[in-house]
Structure formats: structure tokens, C-alpha cells
Structure 1
Amino acid sequence: MRGRDHKMRIGGGTHRGRSLKVPPGREVRPMRSRVRESLFAMIGDRIVGSRVLDVFAGSGALAMEAISRGARRATLVERDSKVIALIQKNLRTLGLEAQCEVLAADAYRLFDKHPPEEPFDIVLLDPPFPDFARDPDRTPWQLARRLGAEFLAENGVIAIEHPTRGPVSTPPEGLEGLKAHRYGETSLTLWQRISG
């Protein structure tokens, strides 16, 4: 219905079953619950005590589910001010403001001027699918390669949701393919930083 928020639920952890508001319309396309559940199953115990970066945060569901499942801290990146207000409302509802930082930023310029104080253990990218057809130098794959190469901790994991049809990038030097899975028109690809 127009003008009303839609809802989704956290699928696991201490906040399992809690509702989150999702902005209406096509601008925000939340990861389907089945895909989200599979993503966290692939990440497994790495989530516990981790520092998470959620890029293209939308409702903030990925970061909040990561915290629910045991992540220590999460940084959420979103550029739309109305969506950021909804993220902050969701954080207040779950009482997660102290564990989460929201950055109002263009994902493709993230950390250009102010790099993070420490690397992330897990980087989650759930970009708008039209972005995959953009300028080849500014696609989600290029962003994933940059974040993985520059801001991912040793043994850290980067996960990207992408259209099943279309090219899949290779990991940058220092990272290796970890897992990949298809869910109809949507796929998940995970890379891991090689230790040493």
C-alpha cells in the first residue's frame, strides 16, 4: 500500500522474529529471507564477535541480523536520508544504537577521505541490481574488489548479492573465492582474505 512501511523479520539470533520496517517502493529491495538465511549459514560462526560493514544498507536488516547472531559492531552505509531515518528507527526499536554506526555516504566513494580505524571482519553488499549495468569502473563488483582489497581483515569474508545472469568478478589479489550459491534470479558470492 502506498505511503505505508512494509515489514520483514529477523531470521536468527537474539532478536529472531522481531519486525523491521522496510521502505515502500522500488528504491530499496531487501534481500529475501531465504537468501538472507543462506548467507548467514555460509558465514557461520565467523559472525560471532565480528566487525561488520553493511553497504547499501536499505532497511539495515543485514547489519541488525548480524548483531542478533553475535557480531560485535556494525557500520551501515546508506545515502538516502529518508531510508537512514528508517534505519535509525529500526535500531531504536531493537535497542542496537550503541552497537551500530550509520554513515550517510555514497557507497562508491566510501572511505575515500576517511578510512576506517580498523578493518572489517565481514563486508556485506546488497546493491541495487541496476548498478551492475553501470559504468564498468563503478559497478558493485569494482566496489567489492576495492573493499575486499583495502578494508577486509585477515581471514575476513566479503559477500555480495548479485543477479544470476551477468558476469561474476574474480576476487582481487589476496582474496580467494569461498562460496557461491544461486537462488533463481539472485546469487550470492563470498570471497575470503587469505591469511599471511
Structure 2
Amino acid sequence: MNAELGPVEVYDLRPIREIVFQKLREAIIDGRIKKGEHLVESIVATKMSVSRTPVREALRQLEIEGLILNIPRKGAIVQGITKEDALDIYDLREVLEGLMARLACRNITEADINRLKGIIELMEEAINNENYDEFLVLHGEYNTIILNSSKNKRLQSTLKNLYEYLTGLRSISLFTKDRRMVALEEHKEIVYALEKKDEDHVETLTRMHIRKAKKAFLSNLE
């Protein structure tokens, strides 16, 4: 295992098992720990300067999430995010983000509409300057504003958990400049519908946006 996990920070007051789980989860999702790698309790514990007990508990949770597979006499093997996982995530996003947009339409403020418009302008600049990393950061800020405007804490928690899986998927679905330009136009239409308080239209546009992202993801895998 080559990922640089690093020791648990002494100032982090969360339970050790939670910290270990989150660090391993992030490393698997962002690809620092590769599919097929073995996670050995003793090695992980040494790297993170913790006992083996929280590592064992974290590995159990990772198995529940489907990110690792425990094989008898072989131990924990990283599964990562499979193509099937990705398609499941897109299907969930279509439903949940459609609801998110509908709820946001009822609650979003004029100030947040203006913030979204400003972010879209910056996203366009990032595309023109071929600053892909900046585009992804702005894309995340755009989603966060709409998500927070939904005012639904359960939905926010569910989508935030889902969004943690999206780093790798977005790097594929938004790989081409053409797709980023199309996505930008879709975002403009969504913001316009939010501004007009058109709940049905904003949900339809959002669901279409996710379906197109899913199609781009599949196309770029080929």
C-alpha cells in the first residue's frame, strides 16, 4: 500500500475509528489506494499511528460500503468504484438532485441567485483559460449553494455523502472541453428556472443534466 495516509492528528477529537475510516475511504475514492491493493491491519495501524482495533472496525465499515472485499486467507482487497457503482450513483443523483432543485426553487434567495450567476461567469472563464481544476472547484460551489437552498437536512446529508464519490466520476464525465461548455449552458438554464421559481421546469432540467453527465461518463470510458 503506497498511499501516504499519515498519522491521526492529535487535535482531531472525533472517535479514532471514524477518522481511520474517513481517511481510508477518501484514499480509495480519490485513487491513492488502488483497486486490487491489500489493506493489512497491522500496516495501516502503523502508518496511522493507531492500534489495530479502530482499523479493524474501519475495514468492516468499508466492506459494508462495498469499497473493499474481505476474502478468507487473503484479507481486505480494495474494490474501489466500479462502473456499476458509478451508474448506480448517477441514477440516485438524477432523483435526489431533481428533488434538491425543486426544493431550492421554493427557498432560494435573490442573493444566492446572484452568487450562482457570478460562479457561472467564473466557470466560463475557467473553461476558456483551460483551468480544469478551477472549473471543478466552482462546480462544487454551484452545487453547494443549490443544495443548501433546499433546506432539507436529510437530503443534504445524503447528497453530501454521495458527492464524496464524485471526484473521479466528474474527472471522466467532464473530461472534454465540449462537455464542460454544454454543462455550463445547462447550469445557466437551471439558474434561470430557479430565478423564475418554475419548480417543474427546474427539476426537469436538473434530471436531464444528470442523464447527460451519465451519458458523457459512459462515452469517455470507451
Q: Structure 2 length as normaliser, TM-score?
A: 0.22
Q: Which has the higher contact order (CA 8 A, sep 6+)?
A: 2
Higher strand share goes to which structure? 1
- Give the number of the structure whose alpha-carbon radius of gyration is greater: 2
Q: Structure 1 length as normaliser, TM-score?
A: 0.24
